[in-house]
Amino acid sequence: MTDPTALPGRPRGGVLSGPATARAHCVLAPNPSPMTLDGTNTWIVAEPDSDLAIVIDPGPLDEGHLQAVIDLAEQAGKRIALTLLTHGHPDHADGAARFAELTRSAVRALDPALRLGEEGLDAGDVITTGGLELRVVPTPGHTADSLSFHLPADRAVLTGDTILGRGTTVVAHPDGRLGDYLDSLRRLRSLTVDDGVATVLPGHGPVLNDAQGAVEFYLAHRAHRLAQVETAVEAGHRTPEEVVASVYADVDRSLWPAAELSVRAQLDYLGEHGLIDC
């Protein structure tokens, strides 16, 4: 049996759904897959003594899941007053419009196309609902519209797909860009160093108890992959497909299409920085 304390970020064992911190409760969506891991983590966040709650990433358009989120909030004596999106991928956002209809709550997102209501989200915004404080942290890279949410009272950050509870994320070229992603990881690292963030509440996979360790692992992983891609190009592998077959030979082939997106982002990054010939 693998010791979770030895894994990057020290993933929390046990059932994924349920309380994660004093203010954050995970509801796991029933959409497991190689890309979504156990499924999408929908987060209910609220002050313990408040009757208002915020939901982050309602997940896919699954009536049973959306109703389960509402039921859990109501059982805790809370009304869902606001819906937030970390980014617009369907496994996080497809259920948002229906969820807003069911809860009569606005949907706030960076991408105007995903919003329901007049307000969006932007870097530096501070959301205060029912006494809860969430700070909007721009973390583009996985997608151009990716955001994270800093929950200071719990020394936690909700990362969407920027950091996962298991494995590593895809830089979804061409919308996602590797340079942006590396900057976002460094921004998250500063939260762990300067703001005391200790816990990662990810969009997929288990809670991570060592936020700084998780960020450092992701940065090291990206540096290692970049070096591998550069070496593959130098060895004559010129197309993204050829690079994937060389660099990701030990990865399940079902994940190669996603790996190709990241490789395209890596090739763009290396070319932009003059490290390979475009």
The two tokens of residue 54 are: 């915020």
CA gap 244, 174 in Å, rounded: 17
Predicted confidence (pLDDT) per residue in 157-213, tens digit: 999 999 999 999 999 999 999 999 999 999 999 999 999 999 999 999 999 999 999
pLDDT block averages, 10 residues each, the chain of length 278: 69 92 98 95 98 98 98 98 98 98 97 94 95 98 98 98 96 95 98 98 98 98 94 92 93 90 93 79
Q: Is 2 exposed, middle or buried (0-12, 13-18, 19+ CB in 10 A)?
A: exposed
Task: State the pTM of this model.
Answer: 0.94
If you search the block for the tokens 């197309």, which residue do you land on?
A: 239
* Nearest residue to 42 via CA among 107, 100, 92: 92
Domain ranges in the chain are: 18-210
- Count the neighbouring beta carbons within 10 Å of the beta carbon of residue 123: 12
Structural fold of domain 18-210: Metallo-beta-lactamase; Chain A (3.60.15)
Closest CA to 73 of 85, 86, 61, 82: 82
CA atoms of 162 and 180, how far apart (whole Å): 11
Q: In this predicted model, what pLDDT tens digit does every residue of 113-122 receive, in sequence order?
A: 999 998 999 9
